Amino acid sequence: MLRTGFESCGGHLVIASDIPVGRGLGSSTADVLAAIRAVIDYLGVSWTHEEIMGVAVEAETACDATLFTQNAVLFAQREGAVIEPFHRPVPPIDIISVDTEPLKTVSTLDFVPAHYDTFEAEAFKSLRSLLRRAIRLGDLDLLGRVATASANLNERFLPKPGLRELQEIAGRCGAFGIQVAHSGTVVGLMFDPRSPETPQKIDRASSALSAADFQFRIFNA
């Protein structure tokens, strides 16, 4: 039951999602956020982003950044707070999503947040500056460099089996970078959907991944 300013009311909420569960991709936080927005839309009330994020964190101890559908943000999920808005969307990206541990189920609520040392913290400062520039210019090559560097920094906290081999396949097959689920099992090979050569690159990468017995899915922008 939800108590509004006028009366108590109830209802049925049905959630349909294609986000894989237990892979560290934020399926639960996305569901919580969708549920909150569905309820407030049904009630015809208006909440700020801060109010929505506060309820999501209270329910799930985290909030999903998909609340911001138009522009990219640097987001603190555990606090439900925007660290920096970038005022532009991330450019479209084609992804081959590789599950490096398909038999493992991830509980992000039990995941201990990373504690970075001084070198890593300084590296992230530089990457943040490069990310800001990449989004402003729509520069996928620069974005790929940032994502790949971030993925490698994350290895100390949550190693991805086969990451080096995946990086080699990505470089050999023309991906502009890789990205990881920082609290999950998934690695993404990133391709430029604007390039006419991308379908051939994705075919080559798919063949290489199949030969190496990786499980993967292709997501086109």
pLDDT in tens, 175-197: 999 999 878 899 999 999 999 99
Pairing status of strand 73-76 against strand 81-85: antiparallel
- pLDDT greater than 80 at residue 3: no
Q: Are 201 and 175 in contact (CB under 8 A)?
A: yes
- pLDDT greater than 50 at residue 46: yes
Q: What is the pLDDT of residue 7?
A: 59
Mean pLDDT score across all residues of the chain = 90
Provide the residue type at 42 as one letter: Y
| C-alpha torsion 182→72→142→214, nearest 10 | 40
Please report which confidence band the pLDDT of residue 212 belongs to, taking 50, 70 and 90 as the band edges: very high
- pLDDT greater than 90 at residue 53: yes
- How much is the average pLDDT of 11-20? 81
Q: Are 131 and 145 in contact (CB under 8 A)?
A: no
Range of weakest confidence among 55-69, 91-105, 162-176, 181-195:
55-69
- pLDDT greater than 70 at residue 80: yes
Cα–Cα separations (whole angstroms), residue 183 to 3, 144, 154, 163: 35, 19, 9, 15
Specify the pTM. Answer: 0.85
Q: What is the pLDDT of residue 8?
A: 62
Q: What is the pLDDT of residue 5?
A: 54
Closest CA to 174 of 134, 203, 131, 148: 203
Q: What is the pLDDT of residue 166?
A: 98
- pLDDT greater than 70 at residue 6: no
- pLDDT greater than 50 at residue 104: yes
Please, what are the domains in the chain? 1-89 (no CATH), 90-221 (3.30.70.890)
- pLDDT greater than 90 at residue 147: yes
Q: Are 18 and 97 in contact (CB under 8 A)?
A: no
DSSP structural state of residue 169: H
- pLDDT greater than 60 at residue 1: no
